[in-house]
Structures are given as C-alpha cells and as structure tokens.
C-alpha cells in the first residue's frame, strides 16, 4: 500500500533508519500525511496557499529543464581554445590590489551595499534573486570576469585574484545573491579556462552578449561524506555520444539555467561535461537549503542524457582529470572568498551593535567576554582572507595551489562557521530573529566546505 | 602592485640559510641544553659571530633583533620587502631549530629590538654590538606594565634606579639590560621610560635564575637595582614626560617585537608539524589536500586543521612585518599575529604530542620539548588576553577606560 510505504521510517523527515513506529505512531503519521495532501485543497477545505515562487521554494516538484536558446555550433573541434596568460609574478610579498582590481572592488562593493543587501532578506524568503540584481551583476560584467579579452571578456591575465576580491565584496552584501550573480560566470570561466575552440565559439557568445544566459556548474551530489573527486554521476561512451546518468545537488538557479557544466566519471577519469538545458532526460527539482537560498538551489537529475562526446570540457593542452580537479579546487576557493565576505558582514554588523546595546548600565562591548569575541572574529577573519588571497595569487600565476586551497578551505569552513555562530550569540535573542541579518549569515556560513561547484574563480 | 603572499623571492635564500643553521647547529644541541638548564650554550658564540659577519656583509638582509626598526629612507612609492620581513622569516626558521637557543643568541635580545625601535641615532651608534636584554616585568606587575614600581630619579648627570625586575630573558648573559622605570609614579604611563644599564654598573645585581617549564636553555633572571646610577644619556629616546604621547614611546617597541614572537611561535609549531607529518606518514597516514577532511582519517583531518591554523598565523605574521616594512601603522595587525600565533603554537605542539602518542610524550623525541617551549610564546611580550584586549579596543574603537 502506497500510503504505508510512504510512512516507513528511515531517511525522511530527519528520522534515522534505526527508528521504528508503533501503532499510535502510524496513526499520527497518517493523519499528518492526510493534512498535507492536496486532497484537502481539491475539495476546497483549505485556502490555496500563496506560493508565487512555487517551483523554487518547494521540494518534490520536478520539471524538465527549460529549453533555452539554441547554441549554434562554431569553432574547431578538438583544437585548444584561447587561454588567458598567467599573471606575472614579481616575487614581492604584497597585499595591495592592483589599480584595476581596486576599481572593480569599489564598483562591486557599491552594488553589494546598495542593491544586494537591501534585497537580501526578501530574496532569502522567496528563494529567488530579484531580476534587478541579476541584471545589475550582468551589466557590471561579472559573468565575464574569468573570460579573456580575446574571447570577448574583460581580463588580459588569469583573473583569479580579481574574481576573489569580487566574490568577497559581493558576499559582504549577501551570499545567496552573490552566488546567484556569479553562477553564470562559473560556467563561462570554466569554458574559457579549459574549453576547446569549438566549445568557446559555441557557448561563450551566450555570456558575452547583452542577454547573458543563466548557467550552472553542477559538481555536488546528494549523499553523506560526498567527495567531489569521486562523483557517482557517470558518463558512458556510446558511438559519438556520451550518455550521462546521476544526480547533482545544490545547483544554483538550475530552473533558469540554459546551460550546465556537470561533473561525471568517464571510465576512470573525472570529467566536466557541457549539457544544454532542454536535453531529454534532464530534470530539475527545487531543493531549498538551510542557507544560500536566494541562489534558488536545485537538484539536477540526469537519466540517460545524451550529449555529443565533444562536449567533454577540455582540450589537449590539459589532461581531462586535471581539468576536473582544478575546477573543483578553484570552485572551493571561490567559496572561501565568499565566506570572507560574509564574515566581514558579520564583523561590520556586530561592531556597532555591541557598542550600542546596553546591559548592567553600560554597553556590552565594555565587557571582555563580548569584546574578545569581536577581537577573535577580526583575527580569524583576516587569517581567512590572507589564506584565500595567497591561494588565489598562486593560482593566477599558474603555480600549484592545491595545498593552499585546502588550507584556506579548512580555515574558512571552521572559522567562518564560528564567526556565524558568534554573530548570532553577540546579539542574543535578537540574533535569533529575522529582524537582524545575523541568523541568515549563520545559515549561509554553514555552506562553506559543503558546496562544490556553483561558483568558480 | 599585485597581491602575492608567497615568501619574498629575494628573502628565500636568507630563510633557507637560517633553516640550515637551525638544522645543523641548533638541533644537535637542542636536547642537551634543555636538560642542562642554566648552562651557557657556548656553541652560540660562534654562531653569533657568524650572524654578525653576515649582517656586516649585508647578506642577512638586516634580519635579526635589530631588524625591527622602521626604515627612514625616502618613500619611493614602491612596495618594500625589508628588514622586518627578513627578521620574521629568519627568526621563524631559527626557532624551528630551537626557541630557547634563539633567545640566547648573543646580541639578538629583545633589548636590541627596543634599542632599534626607540633609541636616538647617537644611541643606536653607541649601543651597536651590545647584547641587550629586556627588563619590564616586576613581581607584582605583569601584563599591567603601566603600573611598574621601579623608579628612576634624576640626580645630577645620572638617573638613580631602584626596584626589582623578574623574567629577564638572557638577564645574566647579556652585556646590558634595557630597564623600564618610572620618572614619576603620579604621572602614570607617560612617565615610564627605558634605560640601558650596562652589566657591572654598581647597584645592579642578578639575584637568581628561574627553573622553568620550557625554553630552559634561555636564562631567565631576577635583577635588583639598589641606587643604581645610570648616565642620563642612557635614557632611550626623549626624557620629556609628554602626557599626549603617553605610553606610546615605550609601547612602540611592542608593535615591532610582537611579530618576532609570532615568528618564534610559527617556527616552533612548524618543527612539531614537520616531524609529526613524517611520523604519521611512516604510520601510513598522509593528508590528501584534495579530499574533504571528513572522508580522511581523524589523524589526517587533525593534521590538516593544524596546518591551516599554522598557515593562518604565519600569514598574519608576514602581514604585520610587511606593514612595518612599508611604514604602515601595524599595532592591530602585530597583536593579531601574536594572538593567533601564540594560541596556534600551543594547539599545534600539544596536538602533535597527542597524535604521536608515547613517541611524542617521551624525551626520546623533541615533540614534548616543543610542547613545553611553546607555552611561553602565548605569554611573554603580551599574553593572549592582552593581545585580544588590544585588538578589541582597536576594532571597537574603545579606550582603555571603556574596555578595561
């Protein structure tokens, strides 16, 4: 019986599989199930809930991906695409951004302050980024940050440092909206960094024109102890095609995306595969999470999805497995940069708060237990920033940054979460309610070290 | 200008040279002088002479205790990687060898850093080559250094010092002691000045040496001053009591020396990390940087966390030194570096002992020694709590009266 099957404990509603239900438990669960069913709605027993953003806020609603624009094949198959040059390294220890980088940061900071922050709370509830935010991000050219000038982008050299600073500045406004804004750029950057001439000519025009395509880099899979270097999504060769099967989770703006880059295992190599939305077998499901909600997170299912074998991202200049590993690393680093921005937002917010909030006749900032928490936020945050910058500068210069990225990720995950935790704690009960943004930052900061893909430097 | 946090290319040879010295001169005698507390490590005389030679030839890039001064040359708008960076990189490597022996190095005392930080050019010249230790703490005054009771009273052409100083590193071995004393207890911080007191000055006596938890090779002395007359010219900096400047003069030393203590912590912790990584690899545990910590063994995950914290402290240390090289105010960053490095070194060295089990705990290895040596690094030149206080006041914009 279907109803009973649905009532079986294990893996759902946060109930571990070891739990068992007794008779009363079954009855209560059945009643609850009935209360939730749309039967009540059909007979008009309950007011239709207002769900303007039904598809993105409710899990369990699966739909085919949107068939978007037609990507006209162009360029030469298999030929190495154009590459941004490595940033020159002078060998001088320096913490000063270049003039161009600073200008970019100033512009993005304004966007984050004037547009992202005011829109953040509503976007978090709606699980969607307002059109104005995405338009503004596209107008600044965020999707093109990682695309070299020769391909219609804006950078002359590997823009890993610039992208790091931009991600940090954006997330200082809001993490969810930052991820929504940066998602298309992740795909553009991946194609620009590793694509063949054909892949670049076919897909990059969708990002360099006026009407920037929504797109998503899908690397995460929904299982405990997920290891990005061990994807269970498979790619199987069938003649000139690849057939993809698997599930990807935490895919930002998956419902709007016209293009995906999906991580999969091909034989014994990990590969990135370009998949156009609307391809048969591709379905999308809203999957709202604890945080990063404004990025409209989704789960992407691939069942027998057939793409040309030439859609494996990568050219003869870099082995495919290395392309995949590099992509995983640079995506992790992007999350580090984002965590620094959110951490800064927390510090910016709690600093005036603890000086204004009074208890026992004086500002709580006058107490060491409070003041030291703020000091530690400042110390660890700066350390997170320096580790992230070090890794970014190495990557930009074409040096191996795998160690530095791993260290940055560890520190940003641990200390970032502590900052989120302390941010709420410093506001006490007020931190727990949505009147203040610290509870959102708490939820957002848990994403660091869990998210793979979505953003890329 | 471009962001780059790798070690400065031009200082890499110096860093590697210091590493070789630490490995080949300090490590072989490290355990010996830990066991023989208060015995003078005579091997260091040779090493000190070598360091002087390198310094003279310019090959040491100005690294060392006196390297903490601010460069007075004209600002040509370029980014500097100077003596402060050279000093922290060199000291970290030497402390990878042995913290206590570094602290015992002739002419590399914290007093030398103080002289470099606040002395007039005439004094710099006069005290060049002098091995100077630093005397601030008193039996009743530790972190609260503004309330020291040692007095200095002007009498003709000399100041007369009276009081007792404890925890003077290299207090017995050094040629001179930089002593903090107050010209007028009623005038508070502004009246605190530092004086260079040469050894053998009548009225100055080394009373005893401490037996300690760690850094045993470094002598830690108690020094008493009884009507000890010091020439007026030995007052470092200006004799004016300027309430507006307050404590700033004396405290300027700390902005410069805290990154050095951070460097000691970074070096000591690196020693523990390097050996533990090696021992764990022999036991079949290695860290995979590309895999999430949660899918690796608990030991590997711990090692990853320790290394991340270590790297964090090291970069904060480099930041503080870089700011000093480029004449940027770095009081906050110096305290951040010291706070992070101090607690990191304790966590790293103690965790490494735990990871290595009885091998780590036994005197058969140096891991237990590093876990004892590291503790002082979270205490001297301002405890963890003092650093947090400084950072908190600066971040929150609160005075010492508001945030006590």
Helix B384-396 to helix A320-356 angle (10° resolution) is 80
Q: Mutate which of A86, A88, A95 to disrupt the B interface (most B C-beta within 10 Å)?
A: A95
- How many whole angstroms separate alpha carbon B204 and alpha carbon B63? 31
A374 chain-B contacts, CB cut-off 8 A: 392, 395-396
The dihedral formed by the CA atoms of B15, B17, B23 and B26, expressed in degrees to the nearest 10:
-90
Nearest CB partner across the interface for B388, out of A227, A375, A387: A375
Numbers of helices and strands, H then E, in chain B: 12, 7
SS3 A68: coil
CATH 2.40.110.10 in chain B: give the residue spans.
Answer: 131-234
Separation CA B234–CA B289 (nearest Å) = 54
Contact B206, B171 (CB under 8 A): yes
Give, as one character, the DSSP assignment of residue B257: H
The nearest CA of chain B is from the CA of A309 a distance in Å of 27
Neighbours of B1 (CB within 10 A): 16
B363 included as an active-site residue:
no
Distance CA A252, CA A453 (A): 9
Chain B residue at shortest CA distance from A411: B308
Q: Which of B392, B399, B400 to mutate to test the interface with A (most CBs of A within 10 A)?
A: B392
ipTM of the complex: 0.94
Between residues 11 and 50 of chain A, which touch chain B (CB distance below 8 Å)?
none
pLDDT at A28: 65
Mean pLDDT of A169-179: 98
Tell whether A450 lies on the interface with B, counting CB pairs under 8 A.
no
Say yes or no to pLDDT of A6 above 70: no
Q: Does the beta-carbon distance from B2 to A228 stay under 8 Å?
A: no
User: Which residues in A305-331 are b (16+ Cβ under 10 Å) and which e?
Assistant: bebeebbbbbbeeeebeebbbbbbbbb
Q: Which of A92, A390, A397 sits opposite B8 (nearest CB)?
A: A92
Q: Which of B322, B339, B393 sits opposite A95 (nearest CB)?
A: B322
CB-CB neighbors (< 8 A) of A347 in chain B: 395
Chain B residue closest to A415 (CA)?
B309
Which A-chain residues 351-410 have CB contacts (< 8 A) with chain B? Answer: 351, 354-355, 363, 365-366, 368, 371-372, 374-376, 378-380, 382-384, 386-387, 389-390, 392-394, 397, 399, 402-408, 410
Position with higher pLDDT, A456 vs A38: A456
Domains in chain A and their CATH numbers? 2-49 (no CATH), 62-311 (2.40.110.10), 322-445 (1.20.140.10)
What lies within 8 Å, CB to CB, of A187 at 6+ separation is: A203, A207, A215, A216, A217, A259, A260, A261
According to CATH, the superfamily of the domain at B248-396 is: Butyryl-CoA Dehydrogenase, subunit A, domain 3 (1.20.140.10)
CA distance B176 to B246: 26
**Does residue A257 register a pLDDT over 90?**
yes
pLDDT in tens, chain B (404 residues): 799 999 999 999 999 999 999 999 999 999 999 999 989 999 999 888 888 877 777 777 777 777 777 766 657 789 999 999 999 999 999 999 999 999 999 888 888 988 988 889 999 999 998 999 999 999 998 888 778 999 999 999 999 999 999 999 999 999 999 999 999 988 888 889 999 999 999 999 999 899 999 999 999 999 999 999 999 999 998 888 876 665 666 677 788 889 999 999 999 999 999 999 999 999 999 999 999 999 999 999 999 999 999 999 999 999 999 999 999 999 999 999 999 999 999 999 999 999 999 999 999 999 999 999 999 999 998 999 999 999 999 999 999 999 99
Residue given tokens 């002479």 in the structure block: B49
What is the chain B residue with the closest CA to A362?
Answer: B402
Chain B CB contacts of A98 below 8 Å: 1-3
pLDDT for A39: 47
Contact between A383 and B398 using a beta-carbon 8 Å cutoff: no
Range among A51-60, A170-179, B40-49 rated most confident: A170-179
Judged by CB atoms closer than 8 Å, whether chains meet at A161 and B3 is answered as: yes
How far does B199 lie from chain A, in Å, by closest CA? 40
Task: Give start-end residues of each CATH 1.10.540.10 domain in chain B.
Answer: 9-123
By C-alpha distance, the chain A residue nearest B400 is: A366
| A2, pLDDT greater than 80 | no
Check CB contact under 8 Å for A407 and B304.
yes
pLDDT at A42: 45
Per-residue tokens: A430 = 């007020």
pLDDT digits (tens, 9 = 90+) for A183-226: 999 999 999 999 999 999 999 999 998 899 999 999 999 999 99
The closest CB to that of A411, out of B6, B85, B312, belongs to B312
Q: Which of A168, A324, A349, A410 to mutate to test the interface with B (most CBs of B within 10 A)?
A: A410
Report the gap between the CA of B311 and the closest CA in chain A (Å): 7
Could you report how far apart the first and last alpha carbons of chain A are, in Å?
A: 50
CB-CB under 8 Å, B10 with A393: no
Which of A87, A229, A365 minimises the CB distance to B398? A365
Residue A4 has pLDDT above 80, yes or no: no
Beta bridge partners of residue A270, listed in sequence order: A265
Subunit contact B291:A227, Cβ cutoff 8 A: yes
Q: Which pLDDT belongs to residue A50?
A: 36
Q: Nearest CB to A383: which of B1, B290, B340? A: B340
Report the pLDDT value the prediction gives residue A59, as an integer from 0 to 100: 58
Q: What is the mean pLDDT of residues A388-410?
A: 97
Q: Is A218 left (phi over 0), alpha (psi -120 to 50) or beta?
A: beta
pLDDT band at A123 (very low <50, low <70, confident <90, very high): very high
Q: Which of A285, A276, A331 is nearest to A305 (CA)?
A: A276
Whether A105 contacts chain B with CB within 8 A: no
CATH architecture of B9-123: Orthogonal Bundle (1.10)
Nearest Cα neighbor of B336 from B258, B263, B265 is B258
User: Exposure string (b/e) for B76-109, b if CB count within 10 Å is 16 or more?
Assistant: eeebbbbbbbbbbbbbbbbbbbbbbbbbbbbbbb
Output the CA–CA distances (angstroms, integers) from residue B33 to B169, B206, B371, in the order listed. 15, 21, 16
Helix (H, G, I), strand (E, B) or coil at B237: coil
- Confidence at residue A390, expressed as pLDDT on a 0 to 100 scale: 98
Q: What integer is the mean pLDDT of A110-116?
A: 96
Residue A36: its pLDDT value, please? Answer: 63
Structure tokens at A116: 């992202």
Q: Flag if B392 and A225 touch (Cβ within 8 Å).
A: no
Distance from CA of B394 to the nearest CA of A (A): 9
Q: Does residue A41 have a pLDDT over 90?
A: no
Residue A60 confidence (pLDDT):
58
Give me the mean pLDDT over the A149-175 stretch: 94
**Lowest-pLDDT range of A107-121, A164-178, B99-113, B158-172:** B99-113
pTM of the model: 0.93
Read off the tokens for A1: 């019986």
Q: At what angle do helices A402-427 and A320-356 cross, to 10 degrees?
A: 30
Residue B86, min C-alpha distance to chain A (Å)? 11
* Residue in B6, B333, B385 nearest the CB of A394: B6
Interface probe, candidates B1, B2, B75, chain A, greatest A C-beta count within 10 A: B2
Q: Which residue in the list B354, B365, B381, B402 is annotated as catalytic?
A: B381
A329 and B CB contact within 8 Å: yes
Provide the chain A residues 212-251 that lie in CB contact (below 8 A) with chain B.
Answer: 225-229
The CATH architecture assigned to B131-234 reads Beta Barrel (2.40)
Picking from B3, B84, B348 by the largest number of A CB atoms within 10 A of its own CB, the best residue to mutate is: B3
Partner-chain residue, chosen from A355, A394, A410, that has the shortest CB–CB distance to B305: A410
Rounded Cα distance between B61 and B59, Å, is 6
- Nearest-Cα distance to chain B for A90, in Å, is 8
Contact in structure between B118 and B252 (CB atoms under 8 Å): yes
DSSP code per residue over B251-287 = HHHHHHHHHHHHHHHHHHHHHHHHHHHHHHHHTT---
- CA-based nearest residue in chain A for residue B315: A386
CA distance A83 to A190: 11
Tell me which chain B residues have a C-beta less than 8 angstroms from the C-beta of A384: 312
Residues of chain B with CATH 1.20.140.10: 248-396
Residue B165 phi/psi, 5-degree rounding, is: -115, 140
Q: Do A94 and B333 touch (CB under 8 A)?
A: no
Identify the sign of the CA torsion B119, B122, B124, B130. Answer: negative
Least Cα separation, residue B254 to chain A (angstroms): 18
Give the A:B interface size as CB pairs under 8 Å.
Answer: 180
Contact B5 A93 (CB under 8 A): yes
pLDDT band, residue A40 (cuts 50/70/90): very low
Q: What is the mean pLDDT of chain A?
A: 90
Q: What is the largest CA-CA distance in chain B?
A: 74
Question: Helix H segments across B283-366?
Answer: 298-325, 331-361
Helix/strand/coil for B130: coil
Q: Dump pLDDT digits (tens) for A353-371.
A: 999 999 999 999 999 999 9
């Amino acid at each position: 019986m279907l109803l009973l099957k649905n009532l079986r404990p294990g893996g759902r509603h946060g109930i571990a599989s070891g739990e068992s239900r007794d008779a009363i438990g079954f009855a209560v669960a059945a009643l609850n199930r009935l209360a939730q069913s749309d039967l009540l709605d059909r007979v008009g027993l309950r007011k239709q809930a207002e769900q303007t953003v039904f598809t993105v806020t409710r899990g369990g609603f699966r739909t085919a991906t949107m068939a978007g624009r037609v990507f006209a094949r162009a360029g030469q198959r298999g030929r190495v695409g154009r590459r941004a040059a490595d940033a020159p390294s002078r060998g001088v220890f320096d913490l000063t951004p270049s003039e161009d980088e600073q200008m970019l940061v100033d512009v993005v900071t304004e966007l984050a302050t004037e547009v992202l922050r005011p829109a953040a709370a509503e976007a978090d509830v709606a699980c969607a980024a307002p059109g104005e935010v995405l338009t503004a991000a596209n107008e600044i050219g965020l999707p093109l940050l990682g695309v070299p000038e020769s391909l219609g982008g804006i950078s002359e050299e590997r823009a890993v440092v610039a992208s790091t600073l931009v991600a940090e500045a954006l997330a200082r406004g809001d993490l969810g909206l930052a991820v929504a804004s940066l998602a298309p750029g992740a795909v553009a950057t991946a194609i620009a960094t590793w694509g063949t001439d054909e892949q670049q000519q076919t897909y990059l025009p969708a990002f360099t024109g006026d009407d920037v395509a929504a797109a998503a880099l899908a690397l995460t899979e929904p299982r405990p102890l997920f290891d990005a270097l061990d994807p269970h999504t498979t790619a199987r060769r069938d003649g000139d095609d690849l057939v993809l099967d698997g599930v990807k989770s935490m895919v930002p703006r998956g419902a709007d995306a016209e293009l995906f880059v999906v991580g999969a295992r091909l034989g014994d190599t990990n590969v990135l595969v370009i998949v156009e939305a609307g391809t048969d077998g591709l379905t999308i499901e809203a999957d709202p999470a604890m945080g990063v909600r404004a990025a409209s997170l989704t789960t992407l299912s691939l069942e027998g999805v057939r793409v040309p074998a030439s859609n494996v991202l990568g050219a003869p200049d870099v082995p495919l497995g290395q392309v995949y590993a590099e992509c995983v690393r640079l995506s992790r680093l992007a999350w580090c940069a984002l965590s620094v921005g959110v951490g800064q937002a927390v510090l910016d917010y709690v600093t005036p708060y603890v000086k204004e909030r009074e208890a026992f006749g004086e500002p709580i900032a006058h107490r060491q237990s409070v003041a030291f928490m703020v000091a530690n936020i400042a110390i660890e945050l700066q350390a997170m920033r320096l580790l992230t910058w070090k890794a970014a500068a190495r990557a930009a210069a074409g040096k191996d940054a795998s160690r530095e990225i791993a260290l940055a990720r560890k520190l940003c995950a641990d200390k970032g979460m502590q900052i989120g935790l302390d941010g709420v704690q410093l506001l006490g009960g007020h931190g727990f309610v949505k009147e203040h943004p610290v509870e959102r930052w708490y939820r957002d900061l848990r994403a660091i070290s869990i998210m793979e893909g979505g953003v890329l430097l | 200008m471009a962001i780059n946090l790798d070690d400065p290319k031009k200082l890499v040879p110096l860093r590697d040279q210091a590493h070789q010295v630490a490995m080949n001169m300090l490590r072989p005698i490290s355990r010996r002088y830990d066991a023989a507390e208060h015995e003078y490590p005579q091997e260091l005389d040779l090493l000190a002479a070598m360091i002087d030679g390198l310094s003279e030839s310019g090959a040491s890039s100005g690294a060392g205790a006196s390297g903490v001064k601010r460069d007075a040359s004209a600002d040509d708008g370029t980014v500097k990687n100077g003596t402060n960076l050279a000093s922290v990189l060199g000291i970290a490597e030497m402390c990878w060898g042995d913290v206590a022996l570094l602290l015992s190095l002739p002419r590399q005392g914290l007093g030398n850093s103080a002289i470099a930080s606040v002395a007039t050019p005439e004094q710099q010249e006069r005290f060049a080559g002098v091995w100077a230790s630093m005397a601030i703490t008193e039996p009743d005054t530790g972190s609260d250094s503004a309330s020291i009771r040692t007095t200095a009273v002007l009498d003709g052409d000399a100041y007369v010092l009276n009081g007792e100083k404890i925890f003077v590193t290299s207090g017995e071995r050094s040629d001179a002691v930089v002593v903090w004393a107050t010209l007028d207890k009623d005038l508070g911080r502004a009246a605190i000045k530092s004086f260079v007191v040469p050894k053998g000055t009548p009225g100055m006596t080394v009373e005893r040496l401490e037996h300690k938890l760690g850094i045993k090779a470094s002598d830690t002395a108690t020094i008493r001053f009884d009507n000890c007359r010091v020439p007026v010219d030995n007052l470092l900096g200006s004799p004016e009591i300027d309430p507006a400047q307050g404590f700033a003069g004396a405290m300027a030393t700390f902005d410069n020396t805290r990154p050095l203590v951070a460097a000691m912590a970074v070096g000591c912790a690196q020693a523990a990390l390097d050996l533990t990584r090696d021992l764990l690899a022999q036991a079949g545990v290695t860290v995979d940087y590309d895999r999430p910590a949660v899918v690796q063994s608990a030991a590997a995950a711990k090692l990853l966390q320790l290394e991340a914290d270590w790297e964090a402290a090291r970069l904060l240390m480099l930041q503080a030194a870089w700011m000093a090289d480029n004449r940027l105010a770095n009081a906050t960053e110096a305290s951040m570096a010291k706070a992070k490095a101090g607690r990191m070194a304790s966590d790293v060295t103690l965790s490494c002992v735990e990871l290595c089990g009885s091998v780590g705990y036994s005197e058969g290895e140096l891991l237990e020694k590093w876990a004892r040596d590291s503790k002082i690094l979270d205490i001297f030149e301002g405890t963890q709590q003092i650093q947090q206080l400084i950072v908190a006041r600066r971040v929150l914009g609160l005075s010492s009266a508001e945030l006590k």
